[in-house]
Structures are given as structure tokens and as C-alpha cells.
Amino acid sequence: MKFSTKGRYGLRAILDMAIYQNSGPITLNSIAERQGLSEGYLEQLMAPLKKSGIVKSIRGAQGGYILAKQPKDITTGEIIRALEGPIAPVGCVSEDYPEECERAEGCVTRMVWAKVRDSIAVTLDSLTLQDLVEESKKQTEKGHYMYYI
């Protein structure tokens, strides 16, 4: 039961953007360097993030990516869903198109998974990028360098 590197790296990348956004677009190259991630892999993460309206891209020289919304209006849930798909600890309780199952109606274990799904969703949806930026500032003041993982 793990999130893949898509969600993990993607969240780091977006937080990186939120922290370093001040003037002009941010290149994948600079994110990759700061975060120790591969630029090629980051490129693949940007496609769904763009599609979900979380980032915008600016092509050409001096181009890069910018956040499409204010950090306070972007939740971690949004980011994770863009990268990992709907939250679904098991297929039959997927947020989007749950898998069919003959006896889903009276299924007791299914209720367990639905509760798990909801608890994950509530947690991720109640955290905004702004929250993370502020936490990051606190940590920097404490002398800790940066988020990782």
C-alpha cells in the first residue's frame, strides 16, 4: 500500500515551485537540480499536472512552468489525484468509476475500504499548498534545509 514516485516526486516538485515562484517561469532543470530528481521523469509528471489545471507551461527559451492557481487554492489531494489517479485503496471503492462487483450492495469489507478511502481523501483535501509553504518556512527558520522524499 504505497503511493508511487509519481505522487511523491510530483508533490515535491509542486512545493518547490510554490517556494521558488516569484518572477517568471521555473524550468524543470532547476527543479530537478534542487530536488535531486531526473528532468526526464519530471517532464512526464508535468503532463497530467497541466491537464488538471495545477500548472501552466510557457514554451520556448526563457519558458518553464508556473502554478496555475494560488497556493491556497491548490490542495495536496488535487496534486495526488492528478498524478496517481482517483483515491482507491481497492478498486471497488474508487472515487471515480468503481469496479463492478456482483454483491457490492451488502459487502461488509467494502465498507472498510470506503472508510479508508474517505480518511485518506479528507486528509489530503484539507491540506493546501499554502500550508506546506508556511511549514517549509518554519522548518527553514529552524535551520532545516528543505523538504525531501
Partner DNA sequence: CTAAATCCTTATCGAATTAATAAGGTTTCT
Partner DNA sequence: AGAAACCTTATTAATTCGATAAGGATTTAG
Nearer to a copy of itself, 68 or 92 (CB): 92
61 binds a copy of itself (CB under 8 A): no
Select the residue interacting with a copy of itself from 26, 31, 76, 125 (CB under 8 A): 76
How far apart CA 132 and CA 83 sit, in angstroms, is 18
Q: What is the DSSP letter of 106?
A: G
Q: Least separation, in Å, of the C-beta of 136 and a copy of itself?
A: 5
Closest CA to 22 of 32, 12, 30: 30
The yes or no reply on residue 47 touching DNA (CB under 7 A) is: yes
* Cβ nearer to a copy of itself, comparing 61 with 108: 108
Residue 88 touching DNA (CB under 7 A): no
CA distance 133 to 62: 25
How far apart are alpha carbons 105 and 102 in whole angstroms? 8
Grid cell of 110 as nine digits: 467494502
- Scanning 44-52, 55-63, 64-72, 131-139 for contacts with a copy of itself by CB under 8 A, the matching segment is 131-139
Q: How many other C-beta atoms are found inside a 10 Å radius of the C-beta of residue 72?
A: 11
Footprint on this chain of DNA (rule: CB under 7 A)? 4-6, 9, 25-29, 38, 40-41, 43-44, 46-47, 50, 57-65
